[in-house]
Amino acid sequence: MTSITVELNERSYPIHITSGSLGQFNKFLPKHNQQLCIITNPTVAQYYLQPLLDSLTEFSVTVFEMPDGEQYKSLSIYSDVMDHLIAAGLNRDCAIVALGGGVVGDMAGFVAATFQRGVDFYQIPTTLLAQVDSSVGGKTAVNHSQGKNLIGAFYQPKAVLIDAQCLQTLTERDYLSGLAEVIKYGIIYDAEFFSWLEHHTAELKMRDANTLMSAIQRSCEIKALIVADDEREQGVRALLNLGHTFGHAIEAASHYGEWTHGEAVAAGTIIASKLAEVTQQLSVSEFRRLFNLFSALGLPTQSPDMPWSEWRDYMQRDKKVKDGKLHFILPTGIGSAAVFKDIDEQTIAAVITECC
């Protein structure tokens, strides 16, 4: 087991990275959290709920299974969870445990942030995306019909408990989607890690256990450093949104279903990187390396074709708009990135056309 600390003073917490230890996660839960509510979904529950429950015999446990899918990260399901917690008689000393991917984690976190004005929260992420990104850093939210993650809170977990073996049951699409976020850390922060990923594409594709442990560890180390530096996204944390402005437009245009989050981020990162190449932040050969890595890992590199006006409308609705201006995160080399606000529309439109 490897442990990493997210350093946030009195709210600091550990990320424990293991392989095959899900059934021993009880030892990380303090005894004062006698009442637990596990929030999960049927897809995850069929594999991992019973082993977790078997290890929690000394706790009083209730389970809420939300339906599986991004569309259920909603206020309506949030309200159902609250009804469940109140009916089960949970008090302020209870803890909410998220067992699932980013959808379950975001919902459970928002529930924990708001039930009885905030109760303890533990993340047991079971997708690669959740293990390397969404379970760390305290962003919690549900969606609104007008946009993704519009209702939420920053609320840090007490611990993140990762069992990398859970990744073996993911569908190919969901697994590859998580790799897009792993590559992101190499691009924005760590050239050496990027190069390591380039040399381990075969092992990553076959979900080799040791390679996965290393990739998860380095990703979590980088995320922990960035969150410790800028918990509320006033500065450097924005870099974690590389490819997301374009990616969210792709997700919204496809009505959140056709493209997974990671696929949209991959295609969005290619647009951001092309824009960086055209504006001379990135060399032609660096762009090629980025493109080749996404391609080698079977991630989409081409965005869906839609008119510029549609792209602009979707991007304007994204949370990254400030003072009416679109902000873009662009790589400024392999291993670094920065925020750009004054790119002219013609250039963006031309790059998007090239990437569709």
Binding flag, residue 261, ligand NAD (CB under 6 A): yes
Binding flag, residue 126, ligand NAD (CB under 6 A): yes
Binding flag, residue 96, ligand GLY (CB under 6 A): no
Binding flag, residue 240, ligand GLY (CB under 6 A): yes
Question: Does the annotation count 223 as an active-site position?
Answer: yes
CB 147, min distance to ligand NAD, A: 11
DSSP reduced 3-state for 333: coil
Residue 320 contacts which entry, ligand GLY, ligand NAD, none (Cβ below 5-8 A, type-dependent): none
The string of DSSP codes covering 77-119 is HHHHHHHHHHHTT--TT-EEEEEESHHHHHHHHHHHHHGGG--
Binding flag, residue 137, ligand NAD (CB under 6 A): yes
Binding flag, residue 268, ligand GLY (CB under 6 A): no
Residue 197 contacts which entry, ligand GLY, ligand NAD, none (Cβ below 5-8 A, type-dependent): none
Only one of the segments 36-44, 119-127, 132-140, 324-332 lies at the binding site for ligand GLY (rule: CB under 6 A); that segment is: 132-140
Residue 200 contacts which entry, ligand GLY, ligand NAD, none (Cβ below 5-8 A, type-dependent): none
| Residue whose C-alpha is closest to residue 331's, from 213, 152, 190 | 190
> Angle formed by the axes of helices 102-114 and 75-87, to 10°?
60
| Residue whose C-alpha is closest to residue 127's, from 88, 92, 100, 89 | 100
CB 237, min distance to ligand GLY, A: 5
Binding flag, residue 166, ligand NAD (CB under 6 A): yes
Do the bridges between strand 139-144 and strand 147-154 make them parallel or antiparallel, or are there none, so unpaired?
A: antiparallel
Calpha distance 339→17 (Å, rounded): 31
Question: Does the annotation count 274 as an active-site position?
Answer: no
Report the run of H or E that residue 12 belongs to, with start and end: none
Calpha distance 100→40 (Å, rounded): 6
Question: Does the annotation count 312 as an active-site position?
Answer: no
* Number of Cβ atoms within 10 Å of the Cβ of 284: 7
Residues ≥6 apart with Cβ < 8 Å to 259: 250, 251, 267, 300, 304
CB 173, min distance to ligand GLY, A: 19
CB 216, min distance to ligand GLY, A: 15
Catalytic residue among 233, 251, 263, 277: 233
4, 22, 73, 300: which one contacts ligand NAD (CB under 6 A)? 73
CB 93, min distance to ligand GLY, A: 28
Residues ≥6 apart with Cβ < 8 Å to 173: 260, 263
Question: What's the distance, CA 347 to chain centroid?
Answer: 29
The tokens describing 300, both together, are 């989409």
Binding flag, residue 106, ligand NAD (CB under 6 A): yes
The tokens describing 181, both together, are 């976020």
Instruction: Give the CB-nearest residue to ligand GLY.
Output: 240
137, 157, 178, 243: which one contacts ligand GLY (CB under 6 A)? 137
The tokens describing 283, both together, are 């060399």
Binding flag, residue 319, ligand GLY (CB under 6 A): no
| Site residues, ligand GLY (CB under 6 A) | 133, 137, 139, 233, 237, 240
Footprint of ligand NAD on this chain (CB under 6 A)?
A: 41, 43-44, 47, 68, 70, 73, 100-104, 106, 126-127, 129-130, 133-134, 137, 139, 148-149, 166, 169-170, 174, 177, 261
Active-site positions read 117, 139, 181, 223, 233, 237, 241, 244, 248, 261
